[in-house]
Amino acid sequence: MTIVVTGATGNVGRPLVTQLVNAGVEVRAVTRDPNSAGFPAEVEVVSSAAAGLPGASAVFLNSRALGDELAEVVDLARRVGVTRLVALSAINADDDFARQPSRFRGDRNKEVEQLAVDSGLPWVSLRPSLFASNFAGMWSAQIRAGDIVHGPYAAASSAPIVDSDIAAVAVRALTSDCHEGKSYQLTGPEALCMSEQVKILSGAIGKPLEYVPVSDEAARTGMAKAGMPSLLIDALVPFAEFIRSGKAARVFPTVQEITGRQPFTFSDWAREHAAAFR
């Protein structure tokens, strides 16, 4: 079995490549910069999905990595005899596009899922909640600079999932036919409000931290001062409503059901990535 992983140097792709190798699978990792990949020696590195598809059994589809080539790659996979597609989507894929901030970064969650479904090939869709790694991007600069984390919706909760757990589910979806035709909601094992997450980070780095809530307008102003593009700000502020709605706080047992083990906690992730906040 040979599996093509697009977005192979990403937060999900990199652990996925390693876990597939550990499972004894032949892996073709798609990256435009093979010199900086740092993959296990057994991995075949290719510069494009098209180059890796011939002879492959399954493909992990990362819409951000594929960009405008997404539809073409799905079509080519069908034509060259690929037998399974696993699409990386998101738990809010059905929401209005204006409320999906990750679209600004190139994610096409709804589209990649629909292309996989319409391909005529066996497919699986993975719909993870907030990535734990997102919090490094949101808070690391503030925490390195001081002991206050500012943000909106302090009391609203989410159930962030550790990126490697998404990869662990993807391994099963790519290598087994018992998941075909299913869309999986993936979350971490517990819902935490923002202040609880900051408290966990405080313990992980050994530094007192406080979460100070701000209004949406103050958050918008702060993001603008930090240099965020207006289109991204326009997506992030309405996204607060998704958090406040309680949808992000739902906990699904999918990771344990599929992998046979408990998913990693936000505390596990914080300890492993403490250096990013110091």
Task: Please determine, for residue 163, whether its predicted confidence score (pLDDT) is greater than 90.
Answer: yes
Report residue 267 CA to chain centroid gap. Answer: 18
Q: Whole-prediction pTM value?
A: 0.91
Average pLDDT over residues 40-57: 94
Average pLDDT over residues 208-223: 83
Task: Please determine, for residue 246, whether its predicted confidence score (pLDDT) is greater than 80.
Answer: no
Task: Please determine, for residue 242, whether its predicted confidence score (pLDDT) is greater than 80.
Answer: no
pLDDT grade, residue 237 (50/70/90)?
A: low
**CATH match for 2-277 among 3.40.30.10, 3.40.50.2000, 3.40.50.720, 3.30.70.2740:** 3.40.50.720
Task: Please determine, for residue 174, whether its predicted confidence score (pLDDT) is greater than 60.
Answer: yes
What are the sequence ranges of the domains in the chain?
A: 2-277
Average pLDDT over residues 179-193: 96
